[in-house]
Amino acid sequence: MLEEAAIASVQTGLFIGGKWRDSARTMPVHDPSTGQILCTVADADAAEAREALDAAVAAQPSWAATTPRERSTILMNAHRLLLENVDRLALVMTLEMGKPLTEARGEIAYAAEFFRWFAEEAVRIDGGYMTAPGGGSRFLVTRQPVGTSLLITPWNFPMAMGTRKIGPAIAAGCTSVIKPAAQTPLSILALADILTEAGLPDGVVNVVTTSSPDEVITPLILDGRARKLSFTGSTKVGKHLLELCARTVMRTSMELGGNAPFLVFDDANLDDAVDGAMAAKMRNIGQACTAANRILVHNSVAEEFTRKLTQRMEALPVGRGTEDGVVVGPLIDEAAVAKVSSLVADAVDRGASVLTGGEALDRPGNFYPATVLTGVPDDAEMCHNEIFGPVAAISTFETEAEAVERANDTPYGLVAYVYTESLKRGIRVCEALESGMVGLNQGVVSNPAAPFGGVKESGLGREGGTTGIDEFLETKYIGVAV
Ligand code: NAP
């Protein structure tokens, strides 16, 4: 499909109460590989966003009253439609976000899988019945939708971060207002039409795009009618939103930033470890909360691991995500290139060596090549901040205890990776790592059927897995006299 046709296929207004409408203001969406404007979309103000909340609140009682099977069927329809539209949707995603088309197709499949998973979960919402320990009463425990929810998503996975929230909200019987990132609104706008085609009633999901997130979201949180905020984004914004939510004691799910350690022990299969590091580092051009941020390798295997990783990294083609074979697309914007450049300069100043890459490319678009640094000291800024770019930062360790201690030396705790052929060591280290997820001999942990989420400042709650739907359910206990 032609790029223009893909962009033209997406509605660009506000999606409120099942209808598309214009807003008073518009904002541009850019192609990060060229800097060109792809289109403009609605730029909601606070009053327009309130109308979206009104629509979601109005639809809540009838949506909560639908049967689990009805909700499940709509999600299965949406799963099918996403896959039927994969080429068009992947192209839209690549154009607005920059990731290579093959990765964008993979994200559409991953995003669709959340709908299938939660279609299956919708019909398994359970409850309980028990006798009070002292007798005289029975406990009935049932689970009800938490209510209208606010969903906020980042730019790095424009479709999957949306379906990971919309899927369980729909399954649980919650209506929602979703605000996608201003830089990548098109994927969620395209999804709105897919949900309508799947049979979702008016008002169940409403989409608000805006360039003024604070002005628009703060009143929605303080309004009091929305009962849940599910946020994916930076720890800084997450903390701010948690404070706001405290004012109305709103339920929250927080999927925040990471600083993943990637540990390679001396008994690791090094080829597997290099494969894993490529996946954990280069997925999404390094712009993932799960990205391997600090690669810690045992001294005795560091040279071989580094040589093999560098060979793979320096061979990666850079270019527009729409070009055949490209692996390293553009970063999201100029600020991202400046941040990566500054982190690399800081590491080099502190003694790190550049084995490949290391400088932004002198061409239009936000391109930074795959880069490998060795000897990155623990006090380098990149060991404390998300690099969010294609930079592998390697340092070495001597003992298992040292590796674990350094891996845990961060306020973040989203994911960690461990490469060892020893089962005992693998279990021991996985249990000692302070993170919500660990990849043991695998470089990708994301799976809709698994509980995704972090500890410490990486967040609260879990998305996906059998507990993902719980985030959108309240437990109600009914005491029954007998
Ligand atoms: P961000 O700046 O925190 O933005 C995330 C979302 O929050 C965007 O939609 C943004 O809108 C919105 N937002 C910003 N300020 C807000 C405010 N005051 N009130 C309400 N909403 C506000 O994060 P990002 O740069 O888009 O995404 C990258 C971050 O997300 C990284 O830290 C990454 O690790 C994290 N992430 C975490 C996970 C996870 O599952 N743990 C997954 C993916 C990404 P605008 O677009 O208008 O700024």
CATH classification at residue 58: 3.40.605.10
CA 199/CA 180 separation, integer angstroms: 22
Q: Is residue 194 part of a domain?
A: yes
Mind listing the pLDDT tens digit for each residue in 238-272? 999 999 999 999 999 999 999 999 999 999 999 99
Q: Is residue 268 part of a domain?
A: yes
CA 248/CA 219 separation, integer angstroms: 11
Q: Is residue 329 part of a domain?
A: yes
Q: Which residues are catalytic?
A: 255
Q: Is residue 160 part of a domain?
A: yes
155 and 196 belong to one structural domain: yes
The single-letter code of the amino acid at 26 is T
Return the closest-CA partner of residue 416 out of 292, 297, 269. 292
211 and 78 belong to one structural domain: yes
Ligand 1 atom showing the smallest separation from residue 454 Cα: 41
37 and 166 belong to one structural domain: yes
Q: Is residue 452 part of a domain?
A: no
Structure tokens at 114: 């959340």
Structure tokens at 276: 């894993």
Q: Quote the domain boundaries for residue 409.
A: 260-447
Q: Tell me, what's the pLDDT at 1?
A: 62
155 and 281 belong to one structural domain: no
CATH classification at residue 350: 3.40.309.10
401 neighbors 428 (Cβ within 8 angstroms) = no
Q: Is residue 453 part of a domain?
A: no
- The response to whether residue 232 sits with its C-beta less than 6 Å from ligand 1 reads yes
194 and 266 belong to one structural domain: no
CA 171/CA 175 separation, integer angstroms: 10
Mind listing the pLDDT tens digit for each residue in 311-335? 999 999 999 999 999 999 999 999 9
- The response to whether residue 386 sits with its C-beta less than 6 Å from ligand 1 reads yes
For tokens 């971060």, what's the residue? 161
285 and 246 belong to one structural domain: no
Return the closest-CA partner of residue 71 out of 144, 142, 174, 165. 174
250 and 274 belong to one structural domain: no
Please give the full DSSP string across 64-101, using - where no structure is assigned: HTS-HHHHHHHHHHHHHHHHHTHHHHHHHHHHHH---H
Mind listing the pLDDT tens digit for each residue in 325-372? 999 999 999 999 999 999 999 999 999 999 999 999 999 999 999 999
Q: Is residue 311 part of a domain?
A: yes
What is the Rg, in whole angstroms, of the alpha carbon atoms belonging to the chain?
Answer: 23
- The response to whether residue 217 sits with its C-beta less than 6 Å from ligand 1 reads yes
269 and 244 belong to one structural domain: no
Return the closest-CA partner of residue 199 out of 273, 257, 119. 119
What total number of domains does the chain contain?
2
215 and 308 belong to one structural domain: no
290 and 190 belong to one structural domain: no
199 and 278 belong to one structural domain: no
Using CA of residue 324, residue 326, residue 332, residue 337, what is the dihedral sign? negative
> Strand 228-232 to strand 251-255: parallel, antiparallel, or no bridges (unpaired)?
parallel
Q: What angle do CA 226, 228, 458 make, to 5 degrees?
A: 145
Mind listing the pLDDT tens digit for each residue in 139-196? 999 999 999 999 999 999 999 999 999 999 999 999 999 999 999 999 999 999 999 9
Ligand 1 atom showing the smallest separation from residue 157 Cα: 43
283 and 315 belong to one structural domain: yes
Residue 412: C-alpha distances to residues 77, 116, 294, 405, 429 (Å): 37, 31, 12, 13, 17
Which SS3 state, helix, strand or coil, does residue 377 take?
coil
Dist. CA 232 → ligand 1 center (Å): 6
Please give the full DSSP string across 429-466, using - where no structure is assigned: HHHHS-SSEEEES-S----TTS-B--SGGGEES-BSTT
Q: Is residue 321 part of a domain?
A: yes
